[in-house]
Structure 1
């Protein structure tokens, strides 16, 4: 997969401006159909969009729901799930987007057909609670990566603001998250509402997550501990946490001694070489997006999480499990990207910068009950700060918020 960067994405946006203009004309001509909804998610079929799709189909069958697939592979996946879909970039995908009363996305307008969203009621579910500065709050968002491009940042910022103004509703997991999303997207308080995030409803109900995990990995489950390593995206830069050959040997030694399985989940846009891990031991497995598009439903299957700056820590906190923070580039990353809160608040002050130190923490967690209790208390504190609800009803609240807003606007 070609690597994605903000600069490359922004260059494509600028080149596509004439297509946006044509799309706006088409949106003014093609009438939108009441109770026609389309759903999409950048990485594939999953995230909160899938939760809301399933809720709508089960509870409100009169709504004509269509999934906007990124390609024919996703169309086949959708068919296997019994989901009606069209490729979003096709003529049918454009027409479905133009006709939809409600458009549900998780990453951006490109989750649907980006040229057909004007005038629809757009629900931006986003894909996690922000820790890193995002969108208008982040200088990286306006990067173009070419000499002399500074004069284009002003028009690009205005382009982003106009685009974000097309977001009609943005659910948030808590008021703390809502505050971050409002500044990031330049949205008024009324459009960012605390309903809970549909993607987290799966964490509030019993699921066969462990069975599904081992099935995806093709590994027999004999009760071994499961450790998830999930580094964040670094805007196309390599992941500095990828282990060296010597570090892999130390990792494998720990896994053997503790009867554990390390599951590496690289970011779907990330750049990092982890191939040596599975070659070193069958106790190391890769779980890329090609095997599991959305990791959230599998989080209860993991006994432990290792991450750096990823919002996966927030979601995982709902399971109550221990979280370990491995940030070898903490100073450079937090300075260049920026965070919404001090990193030590996020990590509980226990972040480490080497695999040696990290393995030491994992061993201590198993041997030191008092320290383990502190680790788990930090997990509970994260969940309490960042989630207003944990009742499995987030999706229903989002649906009611959409219905209330569209009726108020006279759209339904």
Structure 2
């Protein structure tokens, strides 16, 4: 029976139904065949979203939109350009640097690709960068966002597993920086090889002005991060603080937010939050069906029956998650697979915090894995380049991402150093 549900879900995805609808339809078919009262649907939908920490997601989404519409993206890009523009391929390096800084506000890869890509891809093309390279570096750098805290997918993972949000935030810092630096090294090498342009070196006054312009937006990241880690407020309270802060900065410091566009920003945030909550609700029902049909036990038995070696198990999980991440949105994949695979990982003595970072890295890499990576499609549409060209140009960046994944998988200390050092 469970395979019929999964088949219906897969068919709906192929037919390009929204993931929430695909989950809902497959669940409905299961309930009808099993003759289970349909009152279970609203019950499971509500129980899926009736989690206090999930209230932080609408707050972070609204705060991110407020900061983005408040002129944050352009200021971060300008600051990174002052710092890195004089290096060969400086605009591409600024692209990656902006994604690393913007990560703390956005927290999702697709929004990073769309927001920064809308500014950077046309600018890079205008300066003489290859269009496919411009799209590829934008898509690849966007995956750093949900790894460097704060991060919406990390909050979801913590909700699903009962792990500490603060520990997850700290665990993602070093892997995120490692990924960003790795992408920068590759970009610099390609820029020198292809003789991409560079700007005149900015003076200290220009750099200082760029820092001042960006300071208030960057400060929000530190308030959120250290507020949660220091126990000053919960993730939900942090999201409200972030909204108030973003509104004040956007309205009174950057002076880009008005009553007119505030309504549009709020409505857009409500739509995004509502669609995400519906997805979480249906995923909870889908997860209940999987548990009822004992799929977690089946998967655990199959994987552990193949091998009980920790690294072999992690290799199999990595391959599965990268494959799933190529065609499924990160949060949906987390909701469906993370609780199942976490049990398998813990069974072979993998630290839950370590595994959560591995899972997130895998799903981020999937977003830029040809030919179906979602971020590749977003970047190609902005750059008006065929997906085949962008996919080919993204392969070197994909190799760097996989190398970082291998390092994080083999050396748990990379992700566990900061949580053990600060919170133990």
TM-score, normalised via structure 2 length: 0.25
Using CA pairs below 8 Å that are at least 6 residues apart, which structure has the higher relative contact order? 2
Q: Give the number of the structure whose residues are more often helix, by fraction.
A: 2
Provide TM-score, normalisation by structure 1: 0.26
